């Protein structure tokens, strides 16, 4: 089971038609960091939603993941959030599949920019597959501590 850490984005063809399957004019604008037309990292998506102007729509039957769109620029993105990732991971566990794969880890919210904890998608997968408790709704925006690096090796010519 594939679990993307990104969303596919498009420019909608017409205003007001935002449902899954609506017509598009082409790929969405590149993300601030990913710089790839038609693709946004999860952290780019949740930042756009958090900063306002983007509307999130979730399917009541949960047959597809959430979408987010911005009416002025007609930008639209389909993606997996922690709730939908949990649903996929539970499906993997219930069907006794061998596991899940992600593409790619660096597109998760590694800096806790979206206040769901660092790596909310990866942690949700671990929580569901390995029964490790993790609260993705913590709403604490504290960035994770910087990594601890070993001292640089000393160089000598003697």
Residues 74 and 87 in one domain: no
Q: What whole-number distance in Å separates Cα of residue 103 and Cα of residue 83?
A: 17
Percent pLDDT > 90 in the chain is: 65
Is the residue at 8 inside a domain? Answer: yes
Q: Which residue has the higher pLDDT, 115 or 140?
A: 115
Is the residue at 145 inside a domain? Answer: no
Q: Which residue has the higher pLDDT, 134 or 90?
A: 90
- Most distant pair of Cα atoms in the chain: their distance: 73
Q: Is the pLDDT of residue 62 over 80?
A: no
Residues 87 and 74 in one domain: no
Question: How many structural domains does the chain have?
Answer: 2
pTM of the prediction?
0.86
Place of tokens 């501590």: 145
pLDDT band at residue 7, thresholds of 50, 70 and 90?
very high
Q: What is the pLDDT of residue 133?
A: 78
**Terminal C-alpha separation, the chain:** 55
Mean pLDDT of 47-53: 91
Mean pLDDT of 29-50: 96
**What would the pLDDT profile of 12-33 be if each residue is shown by its tens digit?**
999 888 888 899 999 999 999 9
Contact call for residues 107 and 34 (beta carbons, < 8 A): yes
CATH of the domain at 45: 3.10.50.10
Q: Which residue has the higher pLDDT, 12 or 61?
A: 12
Residues 57 and 113 in one domain: no
pLDDT band at residue 145, thresholds of 50, 70 and 90?
confident
Size of the chain, expressed as the number of residues it contains: 158
Domain that holds residue 117: 82-130
Residues 6+ away with beta carbon under 8 Å from 130:
none
Is the residue at 29 inside a domain? Answer: yes
The DSSP element (H or E) to which 91 belongs, if any, is: helix 82-94
Is the residue at 153 inside a domain? Answer: no
Q: What is the pLDDT of residue 120?
A: 94
Q: What is the pLDDT of residue 47?
A: 94
Q: What whole-number distance in Å separates Cα of residue 48 and Cα of residue 51?
A: 5
Mean pLDDT of 140-148: 82
Residues 71 and 86 in one domain: no
Is the residue at 95 inside a domain? Answer: yes
Q: Is the pLDDT of residue 88 over 90?
A: yes
Alpha carbons within 13 A on the beta-carbon side of 115: 9
**Residues 132, 116, 104, 85, CA torsion sign:** positive
């Amino acid at each position: 089971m594939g679990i993307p850490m990104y969303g596919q984005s498009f420019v909608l063809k017409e205003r007001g038609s935002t449902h899954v399957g609506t017509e598009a004019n082409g790929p969405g604008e590149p993300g601030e960091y990913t710089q790839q037309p038609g693709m946004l990292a999860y952290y780019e998506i949740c930042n756009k939603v958090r900063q306002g102007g983007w509307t999130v729509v979730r399917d009541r039957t949960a047959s597809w993941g959430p979408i987010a769109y911005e009416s002025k620029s007609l930008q639209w993105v389909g993606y997996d959030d922690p709730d939908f990732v949990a649903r996929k991971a539970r499906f993997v566990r219930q069907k006794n599949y061998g596991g899940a794969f992600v593409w790619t880890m660096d597109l998760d919210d590694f800096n806790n920019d979206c206040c769901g904890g660092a790596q909310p998608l990866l942690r949700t997968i671990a929580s569901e597959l390995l029964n490790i408790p993790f609260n993705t709704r913590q709403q604490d925006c504290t960035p994770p501590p910087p990594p601890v690096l070993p001292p640089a090796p000393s160089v000598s010519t003697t």
